[in-house]
Chain A
Amino acid sequence: MLSTLLSQIVNGLVLGSLIGLIALGYTMVYGIVQLINFAHGEIFMVGAYGGLAMFTYLLPTALKNHWYFALPILLIVGAAVSVLVAVAMERLAYRPLRGAPRLAPLITALGVSVALQEAVRVFYPNATAAVPFPTIFVPGTLIIPIGDGIPIKYSAILLVVVALALAYALNTFVERSRMGRAMRATAQDPDVARLMGVDPDRVIVLTFVLGGALAGVGGILYGGLYNTINIDMGFQNGIFAFTAAVLGGIGNIRGAVVGGLAIGLVKALGGQYLPGGTAYDYVWIFVVLIVVLVFRPQGFFGETERVRA
């Protein structure tokens, strides 16, 4: 049925935009320091909790019901909390391991991931269970009158628009700005970049700041869409985002977004049309990943990794 197909495509694009937004953080950090930052999903999670804390405890009640006040404040606070945690993580956990073998920071990333989850569980009130998240945007659903109707929540439209706009802005920043050029230079060859006067520490911190800000915004939009957040949200969506980054070609910004959208669509359409139904929709994501990696190990947009002496 046409309306069902279109509904599932919409669902896939919404989930895909969110995953793409998180995947940008994975892909940038990998591009600069060749680290798979498994704690990035938790950066997304702390952004949502940070925003919720501000909304619950600090925001005056008079402002809570006006989304045009509450939404920007929440997005900024969510992004700020995520950025702070991401920068602290880089400074305390990853920078000391800069010269260490690649396995050491990878294991550290897993440790940071667990530590952040447990910290929120222990210190955020009632975070042992899922926590309700306020509807921060226009509530309700737009129903496009095709066939049985295609429902789209307004908060889902917001998520897609903001996610794609931020991805575009990031791409422009990296390709056009001076700092963006420094990032690309460091990614290509950190030693030569340093000889040219690029400070690698600054570039790395900037990478974590950008990735953290996107994840924090993603956390708030996620909460606004599903109206519930929990400490596991970073792990599950983080795994998808990591998969999206690999699928798109890790280290490539466009690849992360395309990979995210591909995963969202595969999940939605696989759950609808493939055998096993929604119980197996996660399986198809990884089937697609494996098939793509067999034929194109560097992902959609990735370049083959050059090994140098």
Chain B
Amino acid sequence: MVGHPGTRGTEGHSMTRRRTVVTAAILAGALGLTACGTNRDEAAGSGGGSSCDTSKGTLVIGMVAPLSGSLSALGLGMRNSTKLAVDQANQKCTVKGYKLDFQPEDDQATAQIAGQAATKLSSDPNVVGVVGTLNSSTAQTVAPILDAKKIVMVSPANTNPTLTLGQAATTAPARPFKTYFRVATTDLVQGPFGAQYLIQKAGKKNIAVINDGKTYGAGLAATFSAEATKLGAKVVAQEQVGEKDTDFSGVIAKIRPLNPDAVYYGGEYPVAGPLSAQLAGAGLNIPLMGGDGIVDKQFVALGGRVGDLATNVGAPADQLPSAATFISDYKAANFAEDFSAYGVLTYDAANVIINGLATAVGTGTFDDSKRQALIDAVQATKLDGASGSIAFDQYGDTTNKVLTVYGVKGDNFAPIETGTYKAS
């Protein structure tokens, strides 16, 4: 049916044109709806109940996290946890003379969109600090933008080592961003911690390693592989898949003849879940292990199997006495979404900024000259947070190296053992 350029319908031109305009307008409207709209939350406690002095104005805590898209289960938990911290600070008058607003921005787990969000936040002189991001890849875009404006950034979830240690993280560490901090441990710790469990405790010998080629996944897979080889296991394959792939039959056919007894996946649950299901579908009934990026209920809903393993930073929330208050407060706030894998750490990240701000502002006023004082106050953080005690080393990394191994039981991950990482 090969034809030629059509030359139909010359009659009724004005009619056609009018309809075209209407269609275009509707389309433009539909696009516009998704693209615009400020989402600054009016923090609770500003109206009734609170009697804080807010005469000096409003300061804004920003957030950059995936609020839509495939990782939104994690991002929405982060948003709610930060909102809780900000609301509590407003009720307790933590920052004297100021009301805190919370402004979450969606990055759709995409570096380019995260950059737009960071630029938007950094152009607002009232933004003092940003909680986020979730992904290491988005942090690589966001951190330099915020650093240039001396805005403090505290991530509850970035685990790629280069964000705090620079490109030569293992050989010649040098801190690239003075305003960047994180309360999550890095993949230099998490990958080896996973390898130690999988090889020494679970007794796996032939491991196929797959990653999604993103900053986080590739980095995690590399640190895992190095430690696994060191511990005497054989890494039988190193493969890469796309973060939007759904068909993994090619990779699986490739690793199947190598007889792996476990698969380690560096990446996140939208790929890891279906990958686990397709491994079983191809007759490879071996466990899949991953890092903190796969610890979510959705992993199981998308195909994760009983026996699959994962490491996560910190200790499980419900086993931490320090997190009990956070959990009950979160429940009382009636959020629509679960606080998810990063809720506890996000709550702490927000409180790091809020407490730093309280110290930096004191009884004075906040202006651009106070930004350095805020950075210094965050650097000197000594906080008993919901996840445990929080302090930062000279690079902005948390000094808390506690991790937990999780395994799938029923329809969710359940903690297996918590420990402090020791280099082998």
Interface residues of A (CB under 8 A from B): 1, 3-4, 7-8, 10-11, 14-15, 27-28, 31-34, 92-93, 96-100, 102, 104, 108, 111-112, 114-115, 118-119, 121-122, 128-130, 132, 141, 143, 147-149, 151, 153, 174, 183-184, 186-191, 200, 226-228, 230, 232-233, 236, 249, 251-253, 267-268, 271-272, 277-279, 281-282, 302-303, 305-308
Taking A93-B23, A279-B213 as contacts, is the C-beta distance between A130 and B270 under 8 angstroms? Answer: yes
Minimal Cβ-Cβ distance residue in A for B67: A128
B8 touches A108 (CB 8 A): no
A277 touches B249 (CB 8 A): no
Any chain A CB within 8 A of the CB of B384? no
A141 touches B2 (CB 8 A): no
A271 in complex: contacting residue of B6, B27, B213, B254, CB < 8 Å:
B254
**Interface SS of A by simple majority:** helix
B23 touches A232 (CB 8 A): no
13 A-B Cβ contacts within 8 A? Answer: A1-B257, A4-B256, A31-B3, A33-B6, A98-B16, A128-B72, A151-B256, A187-B2, A227-B277, A271-B250, A271-B251, A272-B250, A278-B251
Minimal Cβ-Cβ distance residue in B for A132: B301
A252 touches B69 (CB 8 A): no
Chain B neighbourhood of A112, CB < 8 A: 27
A143 in complex: contacting residue of B34, B241, B283, CB < 8 Å:
B283
Q: Could you tell me the distance between the alpha carbons of A10 and B253 in the complex, rounded to whole angstroms?
A: 10
A144 to chain B, nearest CB (A): 11
Chain A neighbourhood of B277, CB < 8 A: 227
B246 touches A191 (CB 8 A): no
Chain A neighbourhood of B64, CB < 8 A: none
A251 in complex: contacting residue of B1, B5, B19, B250, CB < 8 Å:
B1
Q: Could you tell me the distance between the alpha carbons of A14 and B252 in the complex, rounded to whole angstroms?
A: 14
A138 to chain B, nearest CB (A): 12
B2 touches A305 (CB 8 A): yes
Minimal Cβ-Cβ distance residue in B for A35: B6
Taking A121-B68, A128-B69, A228-B303 as contacts, is the C-beta distance between A11 and B253 under 8 angstroms? Answer: yes
Chain B neighbourhood of A148, CB < 8 A: 256-257
A34 touches B23 (CB 8 A): no
Chain B neighbourhood of A32, CB < 8 A: 1, 3
Minimal Cβ-Cβ distance residue in A for B303: A227
* Chain B interface, number of residues (Cβ within 8 angstroms): 55
Taking A96-B20, A104-B20, A277-B240 as contacts, is the C-beta distance between A14 and B1 under 8 angstroms? Answer: no
Chain B neighbourhood of A282, CB < 8 A: 242
A92 touches B23 (CB 8 A): yes
A291 to chain B, nearest CB (A): 21
Interface residues of B (CB under 8 A from A): 1-10, 13, 16, 19-20, 22-24, 27, 30-31, 33-34, 68-73, 213, 239-242, 244, 246-247, 249-251, 253-254, 256-257, 270, 273-274, 277-278, 281-283, 298, 301-303
Minimal Cβ-Cβ distance residue in B for A307: B4
A251 touches B3 (CB 8 A): yes
B339 to chain A, nearest CB (A): 16
Q: Could you tell me the distance between the alpha carbons of A183 and B2 in the complex, rounded to whole angstroms?
A: 11
A51 to chain B, nearest CB (A): 16
Besides A130-B70, A278-B251, 10 other CB < 8 A contacts? A8-B254, A100-B16, A108-B27, A115-B31, A119-B30, A227-B303, A232-B244, A277-B239, A277-B254, A278-B241
Minimal Cβ-Cβ distance residue in B for A3: B257
A263 to chain B, nearest CB (A): 12
